[in-house]
Structures are given as C-alpha cells and as structure tokens.
Amino acid sequence: MVFYTRGLTLSNCSPAVLGYRLTSPAPFSVVQLDRATGQPQYSVNRSEHSVLAARSSIGVTVAFCLSPDLLKYVHSLQFLDGPSPDGVELLRSGEDGGGGGPLQLRFRLPLGIEFDNGRVETVPLDATVVMPSLRLAEDTLDFGLCFVGQPRELVVRLSNPTASESYWHCKQSMLLIMPSSPLGEGIMH
C-alpha cells in the first residue's frame, strides 16, 4: 500500500471548547504520521472523540491509501455514466476533452467533522489514480509461413503512454503485464 498525505488545520475561533470526531470513507483515512519516517503509524476512518480548546488550532493529516483493491473499481465502473454512489468515477482524460487519454479513477468523498452539538461539517477530499496501460506498436504480429519445428521470433515493441510507472515482463512464452508496484500512480488534490 502507498499513502499520499495532506495536512489541514482545524481552528476553533470561539470562546468555548469544541468536542468533535472525524470520519473519512475509504480509501481516505485520518492518519498519525511517524515523525522519523513520515509514514503513517496508524490510520482510522472514524477518529476517537477529541476536544479543541477555545481559540486554538490543531493539525490533522488525511491520507489517500492506494492499494491493489482499488483496481476492482475499473471493471465495476465501466458501464456507469458518471460517479458511482460511493463517489468513484471512471474517467478517460484527454487534452481535447474527447477522452483519448489514459484511464483514471477519481475519488470525490467528504471528510466529516461531527461536533458534539450534532452539527456536521464536511471538507471535500479528491484523489485521482492514473491507470497504467500497455500498447503494442503493431496491431498484428505476422509470423508469415511457419513450419513445424522451426521457431520464428518477432520483436515486439511495448509502451506505456501513461504517467503511471509500470514494468512488463514475459514468463514462459506468455506475456505478463504488471505495474511497477501493484498500485499504479496516484494524484491527490
């Protein structure tokens, strides 16, 4: 798993103490970062009850967790028009808006701040995952006339036109496609 983190500041400008709880739907979570490594020590989708003193502020770190499980959304969203009920949308980017670019998963979900008085405020969370893609330089591999027992080899040029790092390898005469990490690349807004 890979975590992309962003910080935000909660401020209490009132003269009263505020009690609150933070909620974030997966794949977003509230995290506590390790000071030495900068990596999340733990993450939660619903924080413990916290108190913010009068006229004070506190920093909160929110993470987007990029995991192989997110790739399941590509198949389930292919036939939807617009975002799914859980805030995930499959997009094709393109400079002309025609959708000729790489496949992307966009997550638009709210970070909830639930106050003790019952009031709820939200902060929009937005992350986009660029999916790796494999392209062959040729549409057809023509081996020509082949005879039994005479192997024929062709050079195949593969490319990944996306910004998502990936690697490819062949294993036992079968082409396997794998991302450089099983995750692709992510962008958090």
pLDDT digits (tens, 9 = 90+) for 134-155: 778 888 888 888 888 787 777 7
pLDDT at 167: 57
Segments of the chain with pLDDT less than 50: 95-97, 175-189
Euclidean distance between CA atoms 106 and 128, whole angstroms: 4
Please name the amino acid found at residue 155. V
User: For tokens 């979570």, what's the residue?
Assistant: 29
- Name the helix (H) or strand (E) containing 109: strand 103-115
Instruction: Enumerate the H helices of 33-176 as residue ranges.
Output: 72-77
pLDDT at 180: 46
Question: Does the CA dihedral 128-131-135-139 come out positive or negative?
Answer: negative
What would the two tokens of residue 98 be? 């025609």
Euclidean distance between CA atoms 5 and 159, whole angstroms: 30
CATH number of 2-130: 2.60.40.10
Euclidean distance between CA atoms 160 and 83, whole angstroms: 26
pLDDT at 51: 94
Domain with CATH 2.60.40.10 in the chain: 2-130
Cis preceding-peptide flag for 179 (omega within 30 of 0): no
pLDDT at 178: 43
- For residue 115, give the nearest of 55, 52, 25 by alpha carbon: 52
Q: How many CA atoms lie within 13 A of 130 on its CB side?
A: 17
SS3 151: coil
pLDDT at 70: 74
pLDDT at 173: 58
